[in-house]
Amino acid sequence: MQNTCLDSKLMQEDTSILVIYTGGTIGMQQDLETGALVPVNFDNISREIPALEGYHYNIDSCSFDTPIDSSDMNPYEWVGIARIIEAKYEDYDGFVVLHGSDTMAYTASALSFMLENLNKPVVFTGSQLPMGMLRSDGRDNFIASILIAGEKIDNTPRVPEVVIYFENMLFRANRTFKYNAENFLAFRSGNYPHLAHAGINIAYNDEYIRKPNFKKLIVHKELETNVAVLYLYPGIQPALVNAVLETEGLKGVVMKAFGAGNAPTAQWFLDSIRRAVARGIQIVSVSQCPEGKVEPGKYQASLELKKAGVVGGKDITTESALAKMMYLLGRQFGKDAFSSLFETSLRGEMSS
């Protein structure tokens, strides 16, 4: 990835926001003459969105030299976004990341783990329709994200964490998943309350927002990508399970189990799990249900997994579990430390 972000200049104002455009629908507008969709000029965003001129914010912007579809987003690009925030962290009061919605929850969850001791807002947003279209949700999403990124109480950022804003709702990023491909309200947070709701005013649920710790930002850039997601279903065959678990170089697996963490009790399945764990592969169990949690040992169908060394992911989302696994494996923790840390809420990603 190459981008212009590291060369962007700060213009001093009361509140300064850096907009990072990675790609996605929100960055397109319709050319009035040709009717074609063309990239928005974020360098002149205040001119294109006059409503922003009423706020005393300095809004700088930068973008990937080649904006990418969110389907092509990957951990290499996550590190690129983290580097930008690290380089510009002291210069800005908040950050808005414009991103395609399809993989936004993955990227935003990953950034929540990579940015340790984050004390400023990093607001991810996007849109279902290009910003320049008449009924686009992009304009409102963008404006509200800027306001949230600049919101302070007693000169302290009000939302000092990685969040997703979409269609009037603000969510903790690592609690969020995309659930609708057509509705403007594209995201949900099944196991954690929303952080704010935008109506006539933006109403914040401050009791659910993480508090700043005022420690120095630490940016983790090492991510282990040799991981897999194993989705269980009735009738799953040994060949498929073993093909996943015996993948060369595999370091970790997020296993999407039934209900409260249940899985087949067939001997072949349990033997496959035990062999993988014995080879040092970290396996985490998450629920296929969008709400609720994994409770290892609650039913007989999950007890043997617990005995085999499968880690229970509690109420973490699949997106967040995958990102957390990459982060922890990237830091090369041993089995016991990995298990303990995965079962611990590090960035508010799971219930205690």
Cβ burial, residue 336 (10 Å; 0-12/13-18/19+)? exposed
What residue segments make up the domains of the chain, in order of their start?
A: 5-219, 227-342
Fold of 227-342: Rossmann fold (3.40.50)
| 307: confidence class by pLDDT, cuts 50, 70, 90 | very high
Q: What contacts 180, CB < 8 A, 6 or more positions away? A: 186
Q: What contacts 165, CB < 8 A, 6 or more positions away? A: 123, 124, 125, 141, 144, 145, 148, 171
Which of 33-37, 81-85, 332-336 has the highest mean predicted lDDT (pLDDT)? Answer: 81-85
CA-CA distance, 56 to 205, in Å (whole number)? 25
CA-CA distance, 83 to 137, in Å (whole number)? 29
**Spatial contact of 80 and 1, defined as CB atoms under 8 Å apart:** yes
| 7: confidence class by pLDDT, cuts 50, 70, 90 | low
**Spatial contact of 305 and 263, defined as CB atoms under 8 Å apart:** yes
Fold of 5-219: Rossmann fold (3.40.50)
Single out the catalytic residue among 4, 15, 22, 25.
25
Mean pLDDT taken over the chain: 90
| 78: confidence class by pLDDT, cuts 50, 70, 90 | very high
Are both 5-219 and 227-342 of the same fold?
yes
The two three-digit tokens of residue 6, written as one number: 């590291």
- Quick check: is 25 catalytic? yes
Angle subtended by helix axes 300-308 and 267-278, to nearest 10 = 30
**Spatial contact of 326 and 227, defined as CB atoms under 8 Å apart:** yes
For the ranges 42-51, 81-90, 116-125, the lowest mean pLDDT is seen at: 42-51
| 180: confidence class by pLDDT, cuts 50, 70, 90 | confident
CA-CA distance, 308 to 270, in Å (whole number)? 8
> pTM of the entire structure?
0.91
Cβ burial, residue 168 (10 Å; 0-12/13-18/19+)? middle
The two three-digit tokens of residue 232, written as one number: 């269980």
The two three-digit tokens of residue 326, written as one number: 């990459």
Q: Is the pLDDT of residue 64 over 90?
A: no
Q: Which amino acid is at 327?
A: Y
Encode 39-73: b = buried (16+ Cβ within 10 Å), e = exposed: ebebbebbebbeebeebebbbbbbbbeebbebeeb
Q: Which amino acid is at 65?
A: D
**How far, in Å, are 112, 182, 249, 264 from residue 241 at the CA level?**
31, 33, 16, 12
Predicted pLDDT at 183: 76
